[in-house]
C-alpha cells in the first residue's frame, strides 16, 4: 500500500556538503549527533543524510519543513548552532543550498514496518 499526499505550504532544502580531506567520518558523526536531537524541531518533518556513491567527499542533506516558519525555527535551535560550529572544521568551502517547494510525496507502507534500529 502507498501513502500518498500533497505537501502544500512546505519548504525543502537540498544541501551539498563538500568534505575536507580526511574529515568524512567526523562530518558523519556531527550529522548523526544532530539528527539524534531532531525531535527538538517539531516542524522539521524530514531530515535525511545521504552519501554520494560517486564522490566520497560529498554528503547531501534533504530536509522538509512543515512551513517557512519551521525552517526559520530550525536555524535558531541550539543543535543547529552546534552543528554549524562543527561544520566549520570539516567542510571544504561553504555548503551549497537549493531551496524547493515540495508538491507531492509517496511512501511505500513497508517503510513504516521495517526495523530502523541500529
Looking at residue 118, what is its pLDDT? 67
pLDDT, one tens digit per residue, over 30-49 is 999 999 999 999 999 999 99
Please state the rounded mean pLDDT for residues 12-34.
97
pTM value is 0.90
Instruction: Quickly state the pLDDT bin for 21 (edges 50, 70, 90).
Output: very high
pLDDT, one tens digit per residue, over 75-116 is 999 999 999 999 999 999 999 999 999 999 888 888 878 887
Looking at residue 105, what is its pLDDT? 87
Looking at residue 1, what is its pLDDT? 67
Looking at residue 4, what is its pLDDT? 78
Does residue 19 contact residue 27 with C-beta atoms inside 8 Å? yes
CATH annotation of 9-45+56-102:
3.30.70.100
Residue 61 in this model has a pLDDT that exceeds 90: yes
Q: Parallel, antiparallel, or unpaired for β 11-18 and 2-6?
A: unpaired
User: φ and ψ at 71, to 5 degrees?
Assistant: -65, -40
Looking at residue 111, what is its pLDDT? 81
Domain ranges of the chain: 9-45+56-102
Cα within 13 Å of Cα(73), Cβ side: 16
- CA 105, 17, 90: angle at the middle one, nearest 5? 140
Q: Parallel, antiparallel, or unpaired for β 58-65 and 44-51?
A: antiparallel
Amino acid at each position: 500500500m502507498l501513502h500518498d499526499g500533497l505537501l502544500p505550504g512546505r519548504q525543502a532544502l537540498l544541501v551539498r556538503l563538500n568534505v575536507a580531506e580526511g574529515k568524512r567520518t567526523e562530518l558523519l558523526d556531527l550529522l548523526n549527533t544532530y539528527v539524534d536531537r531532531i525531535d527538538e524541531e517539531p516542524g522539521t518533518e524530514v531530515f535525511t543524510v545521504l552519501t554520494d556513491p560517486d564522490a566520497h567527499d560529498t554528503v547531501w542533506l534533504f530536509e522538509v519543513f512543515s512551513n517557512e516558519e519551521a525552517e526559520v525555527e530550525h536555524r535558531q535551535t541550539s543543535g543547529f548552532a552546534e552543528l554549524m560550529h562543527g561544520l566549520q572544521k570539516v567542510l571544504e568551502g561553504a555548503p551549497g543550498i537549493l531551496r524547493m517547494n515540495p508538491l507531492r510525496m509517496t511512501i511505500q507502507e513497508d517503510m513504516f514496518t521495517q526495523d530502523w534500529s541500529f
